[in-house]
Structure 1
């Protein structure tokens, strides 16, 4: 019985996987990209614990360009965290040795998710850095977080 449980556990972990590595082949928006692994399988990845402006929002295109500059055509490593509130696979992404989730927030190109971060976390500190310096979306007093923008039925 133990062997059966061990095999089931190993199969379940490999099916979802704890992490993947590959090349970023597409940047969809400021917090979503596609990584192609060595087997040529493509994985859609939502950057965990951040929320970037939607493409039709002010700074939406700029946020996507920022993520592309960080990751497009670069080697990436994804540590899966969990699915987001919409059921999409979410993870922490490192591109060419840089934490893309944190860097997007530090550049003022995304909000740290208020539900997932708190004082002392790297994302919270990155957002505080951008706010203090009025970088990116923090330069606009009327910047609307994407969750509020989506709630307005856009």
Structure 2
């Protein structure tokens, strides 16, 4: 009875879990260290985002080096993409097998060109690869205070929002009837809207 119950449970799991999807294609463009595009045999372009790792953004230290590292390993080559899922941008989140059998995701961690993206992956192997790279102080870990790309993106969004919250203060050059300096904010011509339309104070 117990064996039957276990077999029944496993049959239900097999019905609800999607089988892994594998795509083969030639890498035709590299966006950055962890994102690139492949061209499948059906001439369809598919954007790939590497699973479990996060490379520095282009404007960060080692951002360009991470992009060059990925390009050196896979650009123009045929790779096997093991799709885990899709992200909100329509990219395939995947583990990528290189022609020599190595896994691109791991190679980036080994070379210190990526962080282990622990928010989305709990792999002990990936965590250990990052720790080893940190210990050797290779790639991003050679920096004194490396900034994780997710923190860099968060700070970037804050900087875009803050300028809209505050308007710069420019003191008005006009004078009040009492002979005091006007304290209003000047908008054009060094005067506030009240003094702009007055020829005399």
TM-score band (shorter)?
0.7 to 0.9
Shift of 1:86: 5.4
User: Equivalents in 2 of 1:104, 1:60: separation in Å?
Assistant: 12
Q: Which residue of 1 aligns with 2:139?
A: 136
| Root mean square deviation, CA, Å | 2.1
Bigger drift between 130-139 and 81-90 goes to: 81-90
Normalised by the length of structure 1, the TM-score is 0.83
1:116 and 2:120 correspond: yes
Q: Which residue of 2 aligns with 1:80?
A: 83
Shift of 1:62: 0.2
Larger RCO (alpha carbons 8 Å, 6+ apart): 1
Shift of 1:88: 3.2
Normalised by the length of structure 2, the TM-score is 0.64
Q: Where do 1:23-102 residues align within 5 Å?
A: 23-84=26-87, 88-96=91-99, 97-102=101-106
Runs (4+) of structure 1 exceeding 6 A deviation are none
User: Equivalents in 2 of 1:33, 1:87: separation in Å?
Assistant: 13
Shift of 1:128: 1.3
User: Equivalents in 2 of 1:38, 1:86: separation in Å?
Assistant: 23
1:20 and 2:16 correspond: no
Structure with bigger strand share is 1
Give SS of 2:156's match: coil
Shift of 1:52: 0.3
1:150 and 2:157 correspond: no
